[in-house]
A and B are shown apart, each in its own frame.
Chain A
Amino acid sequence: MKKIIFYSLFMLLSTMSAAKDYPVLTANTLANNTVTSQGKVTYLKFWATWCSYCVEEMPLLEQSFQQANNHYQVIAVNIGFNQSKKGVQAYLDKHDYQFPTVFDSSGKITQQFQVLGTPQHILIDENGKEIYRSALFTDELQQHLITLQGAN
């Protein structure tokens, strides 16, 4: 019995320690609006225009933004490495993407979220706790978003 309790506790602690907490993100978008992850389920996507995988996924990001249904917010973070604000804005305009985009000119947001590769998808709850994280737009990520879209 003790063993069962020990292993149950171990598994619970393992699960708890695996879920990461992130500090609140507050930033200005390219459209000069302030966005914050404080108190909101937030879907962050880190990307760059030179990243082929990121560019390929962009229509999915736009779709996720359009279907958010106020149940989560989307923040696209351009990592700002080998990028210019002007170039990123031109890219967004060209494709008519509407999702809020933050330009990480100093690289601090990218560092804050421990992002070392693009694309990177991070879904966090209203307390900044990681719900899901992946490099590509996986079926599991899509399932999380669909569930949130339908939430009451």
Chain B
Amino acid sequence: MSSIKALLMFAAVCLSLFVHANTQEYVFINIWDEYVQPTTLPTPLAPRRLLQPDINIDEASLAQFKQAYPSYAELAIDKQNQLMQRFAIRQTPARVVVKDDKVIKRELLTTNSAPSTEKETQIPLQTLTGASFSIATINSQYRVLFFSDSLCPFQHIPACEMRIKQNNQLADSSPYPVVTVIKPFYVEEQSARDYQQRFEVKHDIVFDHHNEVFSQFEIRELPYWVVQDKHGEVVYRGNQPPNID
């Protein structure tokens, strides 16, 4: 009896393999959306490949996402968007099922929750250690401002690791206090704390919750330095470490 059961199971597996032999399912998600609106993954219709479009992504960000969402351990970057182009995927999350090189099913997938409509509350500026921080009186507290991004290393922040190291050295030797201001786009304050630990930053860090310090100083590229004199006049701005002897 048990041998018949085993035989039937074997036959079922063989049948399944036969059906799926030339069939593949591709699921395209965008990790930056997944953090906000996770996708409801449907039951696979064939062996599944999970893919992230090659847009605004790098291996470090992918690894971080996989750590937060272990069910996406097999997620891979669609290098140069080759499969996106091949299957004309222009929106995520989506899946296509391909059999013998022909798309037999294509659909947009649903997400678990709608974006939050809660009104954003104003969070006062302060350093990561809880000291108050004010744009109006910044020159009495700090002369050197280093604008950075906690997503470093990332493609839009060239040479950021080297610049952060240079800024740490500057802070160690500077006669004036140095503060690092972290861009709030795509990240939360915890990301600034991780940055502090990752780059062993010993001076003050401010997470610019509402991008107000960046706006005030019209910072357009990263990483970037601004140096003020004691009257609050900007005496240097640029992407190279300032000379503050």
Chain A residues engaging chain B, CB cutoff 8 angstroms: 51-53, 56-57, 60, 79-82, 105-108, 111, 116-119, 134-139, 142
Contacts and interface: CB of A to CB of B under 8 A. Distances in A.
Contacts of A116: 54-57, 80-81, 155
Given A81-B53, A117-B155, A118-B55, A138 B88 contact: no
B102 interface: no
A137 B224 CA distance: 12
Given A116-B54, A136-B220, A82 B30 contact: yes
A138 B90 contact: no
B50 interface: no
A81 B156 contact: no
Interface size class of B (residues with CB under 8 A): 20 to 34
Interface in B207-245: 211, 220-222, 238-239
A105 B90 CA distance: 8
A102 to B, nearest CB: 15
Chain A interface SS verdict (over half): loop
Interface string B134-169: 000000000000000000000111100000000000
14 contacts: A52-B186, A82-B92, A106-B88, A111-B81, A111-B85, A116-B56, A116-B81, A117-B55, A118-B55, A134-B158, A136-B156, A137-B221, A139-B220, A139-B221
A79 B90 CA distance: 10
B90 A81 contact: yes
A80 B81 CA distance: 13
A80 B239 CA distance: 31
